[in-house]
């Protein structure tokens, strides 16, 4: 029992020490009891943090002020490729069946034949076909100022989905946007 109590005390002291050490350069400007927007003040490492919580960082969303939008149309060209068709062959086979009944000198064997059909197919080359080859896929892009709340990060481009792009078009310039990008840059 003494061992469990000592372990619990040591763990509590370690957590308190790490909580105090974690309030370095990222501590809020208004002191250790600054409210984090939820109306409660407290001490330790969980109150007044300027970092987003784990759930907000897990979804990888970005935010900032809308600067510009850009739609890049797909670039395609006509190309040819080998055309393949399915060629099937039917094979017939005569199969022998037999059954026996009785025993000893009264044993009788009955035999009959049937025809089984089987079909095998394979793809064979048969000329060429013309198709539309995509050289660059269609892209929808949004540029943010103050990306991530950092005033020095302006004109940061993100590739987004079509619905996010249309949402950005429908909002005013320098309106605050939050979305999950598909890729960085555009």
User: What are 3-14's pLDDT values in tens digits?
Assistant: 776 677 767 666
Closest CA to 160 of 136, 184, 176: 184
The arithmetic mean of pLDDT across residues 160-175, rounded, is 88
User: Can you give the pLDDT at residue 14?
Assistant: 65
The arithmetic mean of pLDDT across residues 164-172, rounded, is 88
Share above pLDDT 70 across residues of the chain, in percent, rounded to a whole number: 72
User: Parallel, antiparallel, or unpaired: how do β-strands 176-179 and 156-160 relate?
Assistant: unpaired
The arithmetic mean of pLDDT across residues 74-87, rounded, is 94
The four Cα atoms 56, 57, 61, 66 give a dihedral, to 10 degrees, of 80
For the chain, the domains span: 78-133
Its pTM stands at: 0.45
pLDDT interval class at 26 (50, 70, 90) = very low
Tokens of 54: 């784990």
Distance from C-alpha of 148 to C-alpha of 154, rounded to nearest angstrom: 10
């Amino acid at each position: 029992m003494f061992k469990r109590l000592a372990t619990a005390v040591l763990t509590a002291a370690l957590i308190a020490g790490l909580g105090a050490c974690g309030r370095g350069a990222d501590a809020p400007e208004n002191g250790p009891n600054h409210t984090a927007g939820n109306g409660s003040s407290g001490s330790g490492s969980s109150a007044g943090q300027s970092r987003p919580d784990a759930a907000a960082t897990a979804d990888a969303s970005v935010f900032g002020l809308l600067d510009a939008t850009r739609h890049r149309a797909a670039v395609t060209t006509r190309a040819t490729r080998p055309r393949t068709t399915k060629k099937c062959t039917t094979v017939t086979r005569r199969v022998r069946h037999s059954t026996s009944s009785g025993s000893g000198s009264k044993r009788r064997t009955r035999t009959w034949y049937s025809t089984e059909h089987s079909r095998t197919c394979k793809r064979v080359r048969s000329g060429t076909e013309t198709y539309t080859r995509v050289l660059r896929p269609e892209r929808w892009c949004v540029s943010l100022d103050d990306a991530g709340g950092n005033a020095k990060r302006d004109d940061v481009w993100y590739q987004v989905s079509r619905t996010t792009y249309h949402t950005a078009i429908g909002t005013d310039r320098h309106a605050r946007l939050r979305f999950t990008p598909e890729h960085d840059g555009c």
